A and B are shown apart, each in its own frame.
Chain A
Amino acid sequence: MHSKAPLGLKIAAIGGLLFLHVPILLIFVYAFTTEDKSYQWPPPGYTLQWFEVTWNRPDVWQALGLSLRVACVSTVIAIVLGTLCAAAVARSKFFGRETISLLVILPIALPGIITGISLRSAFNIADIPFSTWTIILGHATFCIVVVYNNAVARFRRTSSSLIEASMDLGATYWQTLRFVIMPNMATAILAGGMLAFALSFDEVIVTTFTAGQQQTLPIWMLEELVRPRQRPVTNVVAMVVVLVTFLPILGAYYLTRGTETVAGQGK
């Protein structure tokens, strides 16, 4: 177990990690470049002016606002539905249980373009006009699975005898929920919610089909990617997006850290 790793393996592993991170770090450098017409490397000089330019851009703020609103509402819906589903699947065996877990995973197992085009044709058939709510409808659907995954893992580790003991001692369902189940579940649900937020905040494929004329931040970025008009502003936005999504991911990591090793040592 404690033998040393062969050098080749070490190089391949570290190299792989670098391959995953260097491209993202490059964006941080580009956010400060003075060059605004091309992607010239190395940057001819460094400046902070693009942060000010970006700060004064109403379209960026508008897109950011919409993205945050959509992510918040979708996360709340996903937390409610994902937790309910996890509670049902983890607690009992019933007819169609496998089908439900498959149904929850389907929206991310199938390519996003299929979810997107399905929703769009459904909106067309039902004559629903595009709005913030159509975006939320799509986002909540594929966010459920993230909350579900986190919650179901925790439910499986929470012993059901705890709940029986609580009920035997005379607690009502609500008291059991409030004082026994929730404290056990809270961090898992919160972690799932944070990941759902991150997922919704930068989703683009489904959103292009459900947004109509509105622009979320990823759609704003996509336009810039296809037809670059303001490279420096895009660089700054890209850097901010990376930083904003890192926070919930780190949060989710610290909330669920160590729980894997407590149970499930079934090696």
Chain B
Amino acid sequence: MAEAPRSPLSDMLWRRPNLLLLLLVTPPLLWLGIVYLGSLFALLAQSFFSIDEFSGLINYEFTLKTYGELFRASNFDILLRTIAMASAVTVGAAIVAFPIAYYAARYATGKWKAVFYLGVMLPLWSSYLVKVYSWKLILAKEGILNWLFETLHLSWVLDAYLSIPGIGGNSLSVSWTGTFLVFLYVWLPFMILPIQAALERVPPSMLEASGDLGARPGQTLRHVILPLALPGIIAGSIFTFSLTMGDYIIPQIVGTSARMIGQAVYQFQGTAGNIPLAAAFAVVPIVVMGIYLTLAKRAGAFDAL
């Protein structure tokens, strides 16, 4: 067989794999390093400046004053409220997601497997805004949910629920329950997929063994399945928690007038022109997620991603 002419370049790359590696990794590294990390540092740097209260101009001197502002009652409330909402959404999503993931991993075969897979993937990837919009339609006063309650003569249940302080309100679309429902809906697929991935790895023989050893189904669930699904649940919670914490569109469209972190960041950098405070607010999710990711890594959640 005739030998193909080899170019000197090919030979050089073959002999020096590190050169090839360098060529491969430089363009993406430059992009992410300059565009992304550069921007991130630009943001972090701003949080150490402060704003002059009289002139409204940014004072470019290192100070921790802006971080101190975060602990003022009105600002601190925003942080607590956001973290409470993110936790509630995470727990809710785990409860709703588990049966779907469990069924898809253990019982769905053939055609049903595809149905479940696409049934989760399509909502996951379809437009975020359209999903939020659909809930605006559902929760509207003249919308389908109120109609449903009226048709079933259950309006009094809804009214009683809405009169509960804290989670209720004038109507569902301006209550915390409304915000919670939309968050739950929008981030649910992010919880289903990792749980399903974790459960797919549980060998069925292990469940049979548990049953053979005399465990009731409930005991198998609690002592065998749940511990094995936990890394998946934690992996999913990274998404639901992080996404809820940074969102500013959903609470703006559905919910009360009380703000969450995302809205505060948006307003401080926009209309209020207080970029240092906006930056300090933005650092909170970064720190919380940093802690969260470290704990999750220790629990082995990354293998389930």
Q: Using CB atoms and an 8 Å cutoff, list the residues of chain A in contact with chain B.
A: 1, 4-6, 9-10, 12-13, 16-17, 19-21, 23-24, 26-27, 30, 38-42, 77, 80-82, 84-85, 87-88, 91-92, 94, 100, 103-104, 106-107, 109-115, 117-122, 125, 137, 140-141, 144, 167, 170-175, 195, 198-199, 201-205, 218, 221-222, 225-226, 234, 238, 241-242, 245-246, 249-250, 253, 267
Whether B249 lies near A204 (C-beta < 8 A) is yes
- A234 / chain B contacts, CB cutoff of 8 Å: 133
> Who on chain A is nearest to B285 by CB?
A111
Whether A39 lies near B137 (C-beta < 8 A) is yes
- B138 / chain A contacts, CB cutoff of 8 Å: 23, 26
- The reply on B27 being an interface residue by CB < 8 A is yes
Known: A117-B282, A141-B36, A253-B118. A173 touches B13 (CB 8 A): yes
- A106 / chain B contacts, CB cutoff of 8 Å: 36
Whether B36 lies near A41 (C-beta < 8 A) is no
User: How far does the alpha carbon of A5 sit from the alpha carbon of B101 in the complex, in Å?
Assistant: 13
User: How far does the alpha carbon of A242 sit from the alpha carbon of B144 in the complex, in Å?
Assistant: 20
User: How far does the alpha carbon of A77 sit from the alpha carbon of B204 in the complex, in Å?
Assistant: 43
Q: Is the interface of A mostly helix, strand, loop or mixed?
A: helix
Whether A121 lies near B42 (C-beta < 8 A) is yes
Measured between C-beta atoms, what is the minimum distance from A112 to chain B in Å? Answer: 6
User: How far does the alpha carbon of A245 sit from the alpha carbon of B127 in the complex, in Å?
Assistant: 7
Please name 15 further chain A to chain B contacts, defined as beta carbons within 8 Å, in addition to the given A94-B18, A104-B28, A140-B31, sorted by A numbering.
A5-B103, A17-B119, A20-B185, A21-B122, A24-B126, A26-B134, A103-B29, A111-B245, A113-B246, A117-B279, A171-B4, A205-B246, A234-B133, A250-B118, A253-B118
User: How far does the alpha carbon of A17 sit from the alpha carbon of B135 in the complex, in Å?
Assistant: 16
Whether A122 lies near B42 (C-beta < 8 A) is yes
Give 1 or 0 for each of B144-176: 1 = CB within 8 Å of chain A CB: 100100000000000000000000000000000
Residues from 113 to 141 in B contacting A, C-beta threshold 8 Å: 116-123, 125-138, 140
- The reply on B231 being an interface residue by CB < 8 A is no
Measured between C-beta atoms, what is the minimum distance from A28 to chain B in Å? Answer: 10
Whether A16 lies near B99 (C-beta < 8 A) is yes
- Most chain B CB within 10 A, of A10, A42, A167, A173, is at A173
- The reply on B142 being an interface residue by CB < 8 A is yes
- A250 / chain B contacts, CB cutoff of 8 Å: 118
Whether A41 lies near B189 (C-beta < 8 A) is no
> Who on chain B is nearest to A125 by CB?
B42
- Most chain B CB within 10 A, of A113, A137, A167, A201, is at A113
14 A-B pairs (CB sep. < 8 Å)? A1-B204, A12-B100, A13-B116, A19-B188, A23-B138, A84-B28, A87-B24, A103-B29, A111-B242, A113-B248, A118-B42, A204-B128, A246-B122, A253-B117
- B118 / chain A contacts, CB cutoff of 8 Å: 250, 253
- B4 / chain A contacts, CB cutoff of 8 Å: 170-172, 175
- B97 / chain A contacts, CB cutoff of 8 Å: 16
Whether B99 lies near A144 (C-beta < 8 A) is no
Q: Chain B interface: which size bin? A: 35 or more
> Who on chain B is nearest to A85 by CB?
B28
Known: A110-B246, A221-B130. A19 touches B99 (CB 8 A): no
User: How far does the alpha carbon of A198 sit from the alpha carbon of B132 in the complex, in Å?
Assistant: 17
Whether B21 lies near A81 (C-beta < 8 A) is no
> Who on chain A is nearest to B263 by CB?
A113
Q: Of A17, A115, A122, A141, which contacts B31 at CB under 8 A?
A: A141
- The reply on B227 being an interface residue by CB < 8 A is no
> Who on chain A is nearest to B43 by CB?
A118
Give 1 or 0 for each of B198-212: 1 = CB within 8 Å of chain A CB: 001101100000000
Whether B242 lies near A84 (C-beta < 8 A) is no
- Most chain B CB within 10 A, of A114, A140, A222, is at A114
User: How far does the alpha carbon of A17 sit from the alpha carbon of B6 in the complex, in Å?
Assistant: 56
Measured between C-beta atoms, what is the minimum distance from B7 to chain A in Å? Answer: 5
Give 1 or 0 for each of B174-202: 1 = CB within 8 Å of chain A CB: 00000000000100110010000000110
> Who on chain B is nearest to A220 by CB?
B129
User: How far does the alpha carbon of A12 sit from the alpha carbon of B243 in the complex, in Å?
Assistant: 25
User: How far does the alpha carbon of A38 sit from the alpha carbon of B173 in the complex, in Å?
Assistant: 14
